Each structure stands twice: as structure tokens, then as C-alpha cells.
A and B are shown apart, each in its own frame.
Chain A
Amino acid sequence: MASESTTAHPFEDAPNHVTPTVIHDPILTKTDFKRVGTRPLRPDGLDKVTGRARYGADFNLPGQLVGLVLRSPHAHAKIKKIDTSKAEKLAGVKAVVTAADMPDHTGGDQSMYDILENCMARGVAKYDGHAVAAVAAIDAATARAALKLIKIDYEVLPHVTDVDEAVKPNAPLVNPKLFTEGVEPKPKKASNIAKRTEFGHGDVDAGFKEADVIVERSFRTEQTHQGYIEPHACVASVSPDGTGELWVCTQGHFVYRNHCAMLLGMDVSKLRVTSSEIGGGFGGKTHVWAEPVALALSRKANRPVKLTMTRDEVFRASGPTSATSIDIRIGARKDGTIVAADATLRFTCGPYYGMWAELGAMTAFACYDLKNVRTVGYEVLVNRPKTAAYRAPSAPMAAFAVESVVDELAHKIGMNEVDFRIKNAAKQGTKASYGPVYGPIGIGATLEAAKKHPHMKAPLGKNQGRGMACGFWFNFGGQTCTDINIGPDGSVTLTVGTVDVGGSRASLALCVAEELGVPYESVKCLVADTGTLGHNDMTDGSRGTFSSSMAGIFAARNAVTVLRERAAKMWEISVEDVTWEDGHAKAVGSKYGNLAPLSLKEIAAAAGNTGGPIAGHSEIVADGAGVSFATHIADVEVDPETGRSKIVRYTVIQDAGKAVHPTYVEGQYQGGAAQGIGWALNEEYIYGKDGRLQNPGFLDYRIPVCSDLPMIDTQILEIPNPNHPYGVRGVGETSIVPPLAAIANAMSNAFGVRMTHVPMSPPRVLKALEAAKRA
């Protein structure tokens, strides 16, 4: 199974980097900042407001063809025969590709084989939208005509798309060779449950016996999509000599390179991948979908191929998040102490194993200090597209269920929901439900801030309710490689390998400017292609700014060592007598009293005579990503006659460790909250009885529009992460975790209805309101 793989875990960084919360060797050195914490303009901004920025589809190569993919209209079907002969004969068609053109180079690596099969069906189409063939032609019209000429003989198989249906004993099997992992004895019968995982400590059954009040509920959440506005797009060019180039919108071009090279049977070093500006990813661009197909088409045609997905393809055939079914049971004493907590989580993975329920099981109770806790996750295969990460993957659904029950429990005990949470909040030294012991963390601080926030005391209008909820995300670190090169004029090029998804180029330049003691404006941050730097893990798990700033600071420190050496040479003194302060080399000691400090610019200008170009380099595994917590407050107004909800006020309070660029941190808080609100109220994949996706477009997959939302207030707390030189924690993901429960709790407080099914769309809310009225 995939868990044995080291090259392509379904969630690339997760196994290595979700747990390092124990502080072994604190490296925090800095608390007084001159540049970090200011709000300069982003370096990529001008190109983005003038239309010059180049995204995935904004790049072209000479002689480029148009690639298109033919997709299965069936949820589950055996592919008996593919006849591409007519398409191949059509004038203007330069290549037709099927699974036969993409031989298996994965060498027994199951998770890479799953990726290969997901990119192009091999004998069986496993979901509506699964790629079955592709063409490259001189223009889009010819390519479209060619797709119509491909004849496929399908044998439709029974399918299952619903999470609860899929775990039933007689459900149609998505993969008849799949036996549940993680259970003893090993099952003899195949099932749709790929893996069982369990976390926790203490004695849960004994704990419940101590409880005065127990609340037990089941929840469901529907599948959502990241909904980035830019569809996947790439330009692939493979030459007969086995070298290739790929221009692509991705969150991780090094990982794309590694995966594509393996799937195509190429040498990693011979495939150069350049990441374009990325028009949103939120986890959805951490995985290859059509890129290997574009490379295969280019290789066969011996011409560059541009392949862009339509919005319909993005919804049907990229990676949405899981649909879930979750059971929660929490018990507390009358004094408000939680004595036991138990969760069973079933998460859909699409047709291939992923660690989605596992992440849900790990995050579910992470906010609380619990003596007795158990979480069990089941990875469930269904005939839906392969699940991918979506911003704090799996945490929002788990938090929806847990935070709903926590609120209900608080009220049953007769405690205020904030005080109840404060009483049970995890703190430094708490053993987390998923294993590690926390260092300094911010859950308590965000709750205290919420309690004091004016929002909590503001009056509510008619049909309005207020709710709150907490959220957690691990934050990742991982492999990172960074260069600093100082130009002859003293300006600085910072070259990083983490894709900028939210303004990290500005934040990273701030950190390096801080460390070198030079103005922000003199540091230019670039995202390098894969030929320029060593491997970098993806921008996922909120690791971009955390890990590349750590590597950038270390690279700057290495550059400072060189700068000091050069200054020593210029002064002809010992390097031990040279320090670096505020962008200048200074000679230490009274004997050097008449030596004026040398600026970085002066040292750079002399570099040709003191040993050549000045650079700093750093390659690290950025361990010690500080965990992240947030508390949200939501005011919701519901039309009692139609069930329609409107968010009238919203506040995000979150720990940033250290906010490098506070405006961009706010942007992350607001953006995550908006996605969570959309998830809570209207977003969902709707499948028909035929197993086909009914709403693959922005018309009926309803992400929030501008008029749906209020201003989103933010409060940034700074509880430094001792494992980062500046105290930085990732900030990108936690903000999507609390909204589902915060809104459900608001509805409960306003109308006394407990919503257990997300999205809380008008028909569901109206039904609940009427049921409550009858009761």
C-alpha cells in the first residue's frame, strides 16, 4: 500500500512533518525587528494589476499544439476497447495518447501507480471525468473534432459515490483487490475501506463513566472543491533526446518534476519545470493531473503541447476534498472538565487511497487538553475524483463535528461556550490527541482574545445568532533550498524554490532584508525553476513562508559570513574582529577606531578583488513548524421562511507566531474564512443516481460572491514559534477550519436547531427549522 512509499505519499510532506511539535533545540534569536512586521508592496503586484503576469495558460512555445483530454462519462466502467484510428487520421492531429502510450515505470510504488492510473485510466474508468485518451492537434477545433472520433467500448459497472453507502458490506467495490489495512487479523474480503488508523491516549471507556453529561451526534459534510479561479494549465515540450521542459501552474514544481519524470520514464535532471504565476491552488495544485499527459503527447508529437483544463474538467477531474461521515461522543463533568472524547471519521478518497481520515483523526481534538481520547479514521474509496488536499485538509470537517458537540455540551452543563473551551484548552506541555507534546501554543490566547473582543458583546438583530468555534492546523516544514546572490551594486537576489501562493516573495524578501540589514526594496525574490536550485517540497501545509524564510535567513547568515571575510580582507584585519550590524561590516576593538564601517554595497563593489561573487546558500529540512490555532466568531441571520442564511459579521483571531507581513497575514485569515463560509452554506458536489457530477461549474457549485460576505475582521496574535529564527508559524490554513462549526453554532444559538449536515443550504435549514417548530 501507499503508506510504504517514500517517493510520492498522497500528501507529500505529511508523514515527515506533521508531528514535530516537541521543541528539541529552540533557535529563536530575534525579537526586535526593523523590517519584518512592515507592510511594503508585493514585488509581483504591478504585473498582476497591469495584466502582464503570466499564469499557466499565458505562455506559448514555437510550434505549439493544443492538447485535449477525452474523459469517461461513466462513474465506473470497464474500458473494453479504444479505437483511435479515425482520430489519428484526421488532418491536423499530431498525436493521440492512451494508457498504452504511458507504460508503467513506477516499479511497484503503489502510490505512484495510482497517480499514473488517475492521469490516464488503465482498463477501468473509475469516476465521471476520468481521463481515457488525449489528443494533440494544430488547433482547438481540430483537437475537439478528433476527440469525437475516438470510439470507446465501455462496459458499465456498478458504482458507489456516497461515503456511508460505500462502507456497507454489499457495496459495489471500487477496487476489488483492496483489503483494509490497519486491522487485525488481515481481512480476507475486499472492501472499500482502504485503511483504518487510530490515535489517542488514556482510557476512553473509563473516562465516559466519570462524565455527568455526554453528547453524542453524527455529522455529514459534502465534498467541496478548492475553487481556484485559474484552471490547471501547462505547456510541455519533450525532445527525442529525452530532455523536456514543463511550464505549469503548480504549488510545487520540484514535486511535479519528480512525479512527471518517474511517470514518463525520464531522468529527473533532464526535465526542467518552471512554475508560472499561480491563480490559486489551496492544495489542489499539489498533485499532477494532466501534466504527464501533456508530456506524453509532446513526446509522441515531438512538438510542444499546451494543455488547459476547462472549468468542467477542473470540477470533474482534479482533486476535491473528501465527503465525510463523522460520529462524535464527548463527556464532561458538571464543573466543565471534559473527561472523555471519542470520534469515528469516514472520509472519501476517490478511487485511490489517501490519508484523509487519518488527518481528520489527528486534528479532531487537537485544540483540547484531554486525559482520555480516541479517534479512529477510515479511508473510504468511492467512484469520485481522487481527493486532494484542500487548505488544512480534513481539519474543517473534523472541527465542524467536534466544535458543534463542544458547544452543545457547554450549554448542557450550563457553561458559556468560551469559558468551557478555555477550561479545556490545550496548553504548553499538553499531550496532543495525535501524539506529540505541545510547545508554546496559541489556543488559549485566541480564546481569551475572543472573550474580550467587542464582537462578542455587540447586539444582535432580528433572526440573528452568534456562534464561535476553534480550529487547528499542524503546519508543515520540509525540504527547502535557497540561494542569495549579491550583485556588484549591492542589490540582493533571493532565489527560492517554494511557489508564491499568497505573497511569500514579499515576506521572504522582508526576512532577508532584516537579516542582511538592507532595505526591503534592494532584495528581489525570485521563484527558481527546477534546474536552478536543489529540491524543494511544495508550498503546502502552510510551509512556504515558514520554511523558505528559515532557509533564506540561514542563507543570509552564510552570506554575512562571506561579507565579513571580504571586509576583513579589505581592511587587512582578522575576520574575528569583524561584526555585521545594520547592513554594515564593523571592525570591533579600539585599535580599529578610525575604520569607518563598510556597507554591503561597498563590499559588493570590491568583490572582484576580494575573492569573487558574494553568495549565501542554505539547504535544510525545516523542522519545527509551530502548530497553529484560531478562534472565530460569526453572526448569522436566517430567513425563517426560506432557510437562507447571511453572514452579517465575522471575526478571525489567530496566532501567527510572528506576522512577517501583517497585511498578507490578514489576507490569509480573510480568504480562509471566506472559503469556510462557502463550505458551510452552499458549496457541495452533487452526484446523480448515475454517478455523474451534476454541478461541474461556478453557476451551480456556489462559491461566495462579493455580495454574500461582510467585511472580515482579523486579530493577529503573536506567540513566537521557538523553532524559527524569527518566531514564524505558518498562517495559511487554520482560518478555513472554524467557520463550519461557528456558523452551525450561531444557527443553534438563534433558533435552537442543531445543523449536522454541511452545507447548511436553505432547503436543509428550512427543514430543520420546521422540524423544530413541530417539536
Chain B
Amino acid sequence: MAVLVTTTINGDRVEFACEPNEPLLDVLRNRLGLSGAKEGCGTGDCGACSVQVDGRVVCSCLVLGVEAEGREIETVEGLAQGTELHPLQSKFLEHAALQCGVCTPGFLMAAKALLEKNPNPTEEEIRFGLAGNLCRCTGYDKIVRAVQDAAKVMRG
């Protein structure tokens, strides 16, 4: 039987009903129209579905929708403030840190979490911090550079 859940997504109060065994990823994509998070594997191995829950980055495929009750969720759709892109979004564009782009929302959310904890990471810290996000197009080079550059901008 479906369960009614009240949560906050990108600052907005949201109510939804979902099956108790339904992953948060399916709720976001199929019930709430937030298809920025992607299912690359459904088993937590690729990071394409990364979102933040209560300030920590998670794979939304490994969270139940019902667990969202009372939590604060951030998705890629909430990254830009109005027409102003988040520095990570701008730098990913500028550095061509994406090709097909299907991993990009996950990388942006993971990179945001990384920089919130560590505003001045080394290349190695960035590489290990993003190891849970698979990209098959870029070889990661331009992604790492984009994160380095965004970190610089965010430090001011």
C-alpha cells in the first residue's frame, strides 16, 4: 500500500505517495518529474542518481522514497539560483567536462558535496572524492579540471 510522504526538495515542501519499497530515484523521476537524476545501474555503482539528503550526497537508487519523510533533499534541478548557474555548472560547461552528459548531474552533486567539506582539495582528493561517479566519455581529465577551477571561484 502506498505511503504518504512529506519532504522538502530544493527548498520546496513536497508531498507524494509511493510504494514502501520504491527507491527515491523512481519517486523523483516517475512521480515528481525530476528526471535530472539518472539510473545508470540502480545498485549504487555509478553515481548518476546522486542527490543530497540532509546535506550528504547519496545514491538516490539506494534510498527508499519513504525514508525522505521530513528530510531535506537537493537535486541537480536545484543547483542554479534562478538564471544564475552554480560555479560548478559554469565550469563544467567551460572546461567541456561533459560529452554525453548523462553522468553530469551526478558529478555536479558529488562535486558540490566534496567542495562543501573540502573547499581546497588536491587533485588526488578530487579524484577519490568523485570515484563513486562513473564517466565513460571524458577520461575524467576535464572533469577534474572543472572542479579545481570551480573550487577556486567558490573560495573567492
Contact = CB atoms under 8 A, between A and B. Distances in A.
Interface in A694-718: 697-699, 703-707, 709, 711-712
Interface in B92-134: 92-94, 96, 98-105, 108, 123-124, 126-128, 130-134
B36 A44 contact: no
A57 interface: yes
A697 B142 CA distance: 26
B62 interface: no
Given A51-B76, A51-B77, A229-B40, A42 B96 contact: yes
Given A311-B41, A663-B96, A706-B130, A44 B141 contact: no
Interface of A is mostly: loop
A48 B104 contact: yes
A664 interface: yes
A229 B103 contact: yes
A54 B145 CA distance: 26
B144 interface: yes
A709 B75 CA distance: 28
Interface string A634-655: 0000000000000000000000
A673 interface: yes
Interface residues of A, number: 58
A42 B104 CA distance: 14
B12 to A, nearest CB: 15
Nearest to A652: B139
Contact of B102 (A39, A41, A229): A229
Contact of A664 (B34, B39, B96, B128): B96
Contact of B98 (A49, A281, A666, A674): A49
A670 B97 CA distance: 11
Given A49-B108, A51-B75, A698-B46, A230 B139 contact: no
Contacts of A707: 124, 127-128, 130-131
Contacts of A48: 98, 101, 104
Contact of A667 (B19, B105, B138): B138
A282 B45 CA distance: 20
A226 B94 CA distance: 27
B24 interface: no
A373 B85 CA distance: 57
Contacts of A252: none
A229 B45 contact: no
Interface string B57-78: 0000000000000000001110
B137 A667 contact: yes
A118 to B, nearest CB: 24
Nearest to A228: B136
Given A49-B92, A50-B79, A711-B144, A277 B43 contact: no
Nearest to B48: A229
B76 A41 contact: no
A47 B31 CA distance: 21
A229 B46 contact: yes
Interface in A192-243: 226-231
B35 A54 contact: yes
Interface string A135-174: 0000011000000000000000000000000000000000
A280 B137 contact: yes
Contacts of A503: 96, 99
Interface string A36-58: 00010110111111111111011
Contacts, number: 179
Given A41-B94, A671-B99, A58 B35 contact: yes
A670 B101 contact: no
A501 interface: yes
Contact of B100 (A51, A228, A672, A704): A228
A23 to B, nearest CB: 31
A42 B99 CA distance: 9
A287 B150 CA distance: 39
Given A671-B99, A707-B128, A229 B139 contact: no
B131 to A, nearest CB: 4
B16 interface: no
B93 A311 contact: no
Contacts of B126: 706
B52 interface: no
Nearest to B26: A140
Indicate the member of B37, B45, B105, B123 with the most A CB atoms within 10 Å. Answer: B45
B131 A705 contact: yes
A697 B43 contact: yes
A698 B45 CA distance: 6
B134 A705 contact: yes
B80 interface: yes
A479 to B, nearest CB: 24
B39 A706 contact: no
Contacts of B103: 229, 279
A311 B128 CA distance: 24
* Minimum-distance CB pairs A-B, first 3: A51-B36, A279-B102, A48-B101
16 contacts: A45-B93, A49-B105, A50-B36, A51-B37, A57-B35, A229-B102, A231-B40, A663-B142, A667-B96, A671-B137, A672-B139, A697-B43, A706-B127, A706-B143, A707-B124, A709-B140
